[in-house]
Chain A
Amino acid sequence: MALLEVEDLRVTLPTARGPAAALRGVSFSLEAGEALGLVGESGSGKSLTALALLGLLPEGAAVGGHIRFAGRDLLALPERELCRLRGNRIAMIFQEPMTALNPLQTIGRQIAEPLRLHRALSRSAAADEAIRLLGRVGLKPAAGRARAYPHQLSGGQRQRAMIAMALACAPDLLVADEPTTALDVTVARQSLDLMAALAAESGMALLLISHDLGIIAETTRRMLVMYGGQVVESGPTAAVFAALAHPYTRGLFAARPRLDGMPGRLPTIPGSVPDLADLPPGCPFAGRCALAIAACTAAEPPAVDIGPGHQARCIRLDQQPPAGDPVAGGPA
């Protein structure tokens, strides 16, 4: 049985213009020790998926479907039980290391907190363990860093502290939401390598959310592409990178800055993420898709198998444009 099984996850958020269907039937699974990548533009539902896993959706959100973690349906668990899982068996690393730490508490105390909470360690035992964890994520001198306040650390150091905090109770699943967005490239790479190495070392499953395809390619074996609150393509990372089946996936790849690519303007996907409060019928990407036909807006496209474990939600998969000419809106 998979460690995590998400089945038909639906989240509706209240907005000023009425309820918005932010997640519309997201399904995926994650084996123990596996690393899964999740890509998509902001507003595609990536972060919301992560928050749903932890039961930390914004107030007023309505959730449907199932999230089975180690055999238990998280959506049916009372808040008390969820608190016992969070930070203990499911841990999360957030985007902004600058603001994700409490400015008024020492790093050591914040890392020790989940240990005190879930492992019932004494104050001094938790403090010792926090120093050990800081050493493990390479913050040296660990004892000195433990006494420091967040504002005394750099962004990269803070992200390491966040990793130490997430690893404190040796969780089964680590959810990392854009963990490197706020960091500069070299620091980002170091943090990421560290995270992946530690996850592999301790047999943790990793759900890595990013819009950086390079990072996804390096770190994960399987990936999901999200758009408009749906998984539009899923499959082995290598297969997705090779096939670029869904027009949106192709657009994402084209919009990626490339050092070796052609000079000139960076292509972007034309249009913007659809308004979830007022979704048109059919494929959510139809409005921005160069391949869209009338049938695209008539009914929601079903998931189509294109390879072993590789699926895409598109009815125009046969209309492959020649490589190098992804979608309209590329450089002329």
Chain B
Amino acid sequence: MGLYLLKRLGGLLATLVAASIVIFLALEVLPGDAAEMQLGQNATPAQVLALRTELRLNRPAVERYLVWIGGMARGDFGQSYSYEVPVSGLIEQRLQVTIPLAFLAMALTILLALPAGIFAADHHGRPSDVAVSGLTQLGLAIPNFWLAILLVLLFAVALHLFPSGGFPGWNHGLWPGLRALLLPAVSLAAVQAAILTRITRSAVLEVLGEDFVRTARAKGLSRPATLWRHVLRNALISVVTIMGLQFAYLVAGTIVIENVFYLPGLGRLVFQAIANRDLVVVKNAVLLLAAMVMVINFIVDLLYAVIDPRLRISRP
């Protein structure tokens, strides 16, 4: 267990460092002069020079990279060019929208997909299974932002049940905040739920075909009892893998969905920062989004070890 954990932790750190290098190269080295790029073509040479000094562009790239990472470790993400505030504060504020949104969407995904997938597998080949499969095909095909627009049309424009966009903040209580996040979360969750339903269904079906399921039945366990006690945990191994990857897509999806609903989250921040050519914000926010994805995948790796005893033993 210790070795497994250590290996995974090492993997996480290595991926994080690699991601930061890629982002740094992509946003600071590849474009050539980041200052000129940020200021656009109408900037005076004096302005460019000033920004160049501020961004330490006259220093070697390695040094700038180390300063960036070192600052991050202290919680200093630099200064936003367009918002003229520290990026750390900006990001912290935006995360209050994005993190609840991502977790709400993931919760909806799991709540929808696990029961639906298990149900479909248990009714394998029957009309209800075919119906679930048809629904998942539909879920896979509908773009999340279009679903968001349709939901707005139905629940905001026609029925006036939910706001069509915007976020009131958490200081008005839990419900107004959740209410603003519910439609975005549903639009994010629909596609992922369709994927996870299919994965769950095939994972359960695969385990149902295993010999130990027959053993369990031969012991006298009923079909439902076998499903709960022996099949589900085994099926969960592949389901959890996909859930980790899905979180990545959810986090990425917030970029689009936050724009549909005008939610002041991290995704919208990245998007606006690009429009404003605010590279300091883009750099940090993209790394943070990537880091969220990687940390989730790390947690998934740990979950494996909890689920599967074969991983707990240090391998020779």
Q: List chain A positions with a Cβ less than 8 A from chain B.
A: 54, 56, 59, 79-80, 83-88, 91-92, 94-96, 99-105, 113-114, 117-118, 149, 151-152, 162, 165
Q: Which of the four size classes fits the interface of chain B?
A: 20 to 34
Q: A117 and B234 in contact (CB under 8 A), knowing A103-B310, A151-B309?
A: no
In the complex the two chains form, is B217's CB within 8 Å of A56's CB? yes
Q: Is B307 an interface residue (CB 8 A)?
A: yes
Complex formed: what's the CA distance from A83 to B214 in Å? 13
A103 x B308 contact (CB < 8 A): yes
| Also in contact, A100 and B313, with CB within 8 A (given A86-B220, A114-B219, A117-B221) | no
Q: Are B212 and A83 in contact (CB under 8 A)?
A: no
Q: Within the complex, which residue of B124, B212, B218, B313 is in contact with A99, where a contact is CB–CB below 8 Å?
A: B212
Residues of B within 8 A of A56 (CB): 214, 217-218
Which of B211, B220, B234, B310 has a CB less than 8 Å from the CB of A83? B220
The residue from B124, B223, B233, B313 contacting A104, defined by CB atoms under 8 A apart: B233
Among B211, B218, B221: residue with most chain A CB under 10 A: B218
How far is B212's CA from A94's CA once the two chains are assembled, in angstroms? Answer: 9
- Complex contact B234–A114 (CB within 8 A): no
A101 and B210 alpha carbons, distance in the complex (Å): 9
Contact A118 B220 (CB under 8 A): yes
A104 to B222, alpha carbons, bound, how many Å? 19
B137 within 8 Å of A (CB atoms):
no
A104–B307 touching, CB < 8 Å: yes
Expressed in whole angstroms, the Cα–Cα distance for A103 and B210 within the complex equals 11
Of A86, A88, A104, most buried by chain B (CB within 10 Å of CB) is: A104
User: Which residue of chain A is the closest to B216 with respect to CB atoms?
Assistant: A102
Q: How would residues 287 to 316 of chain B score, 1 for a CB under 8 Å from any chain A CB and 0 otherwise? A: 000000000000000000001111001000
B215 adjacent to chain A (CB < 8 Å): yes
Assess the B212–A88 pair: CB atoms within 8 A.
Answer: no
Smallest Cβ distance from A322 to chain B, in angstroms?
44
Compute how far the CA of A114 lies from the CA of B223 in the bound complex, rounded to whole angstroms: 15
B8 CB–A CB distance under 8 Å: no
Question: Is residue B230 contacting chain A, with contact meaning CB distance below 8 A?
Answer: yes
| A94 near B308: Cβ-Cβ < 8 Å | no
Tell me the complex Cα distance, A59–B223, Å.
12
* A80 proximity list for chain B (CB < 8 A): 222
Q: What is the minimal beta-carbon distance from A4 to any residue of chain B, in angstroms?
A: 16
Say whether B220 contacts A103, CB under 8 Å.
Answer: no
Closest to B309 in A: A149
Tell whether, in the assembled complex, residue A92 and residue B218 are in contact, meaning their CB atoms are under 8 Å apart. yes
Please name all residues of chain B whose beta carbon is closer than 8 Å to the beta carbon of A100 when the two chains form the complex: 211-212, 214-215
Say which residue of B211, B221, B313 sits within 8 Å of A113 (CB atoms).
Answer: B221
Kindly list chain B residues whose C-beta atoms are within 8 Å of the C-beta of A104: 233-234, 307-309
**CA of A87 to CA of B215, assembled, Å:** 9
Selected from B211, B219, B308, B313, the residue in CB contact (under 8 A) with A87 is B219
Please determine whether B309 and A103 come into contact, CB atoms closer than 8 angstroms.
yes
Give chain B residues whose Cβ lies under 8 Å from the Cβ of A91: 218-219
The answer to whether B211 and A96 touch across the interface, beta carbons within 8 angstroms, is yes
Chain A residues within 8 Å of B223, by CB: 79
Query: Which residues 122-177 of B have a CB within 8 angstroms of A?
Result: 124
Given A54-B217, A100-B215, 15 more contacts at CB 8 Å? Answer: A86-B219, A88-B220, A95-B211, A99-B211, A99-B212, A102-B215, A104-B233, A104-B234, A114-B220, A118-B220, A149-B309, A149-B310, A151-B309, A165-B215, A165-B219
| Known pairs A100-B211, A104-B307; A83 contacts B222 (CB<8 A) | yes
A180 to B210, CA, bound (A): 19
Chain A residues contacting B220 (CB-CB under 8 Å) are 83-88, 114, 117-118
The chain A residue sitting closest to B231, CB to CB, is: A102
Q: Which of A94, A101, A102, A117 has the most CB of B within 10 A?
A: A102
B223-253 vs A, Cβ < 8 Å mask (1 yes, 0 no): 1000001100110000000000000000000
Contact B219 A117 (CB under 8 A): yes
Q: With contacts A104-B308, A152-B313 known, is A94 near B222, CB below 8 A?
A: no
Chain A residues, Cβ within 8 Å of B222: 79-80, 83
The chain A residue sitting closest to B219, CB to CB, is: A87
Q: Are A102 and B219 in contact (CB under 8 A)?
A: no
Q: Which residues of A are found within 8 Å of B310, using beta-carbon distances?
A: 103, 149, 151
Distance, CA A160 to CA B8, complexed state (A): 36
Q: Which of B216, B233, B234, B313 has the most CB of A within 10 A?
A: B216
Q: How far is the CA of A70 from the CA of B235 in the complex (A)?
A: 38
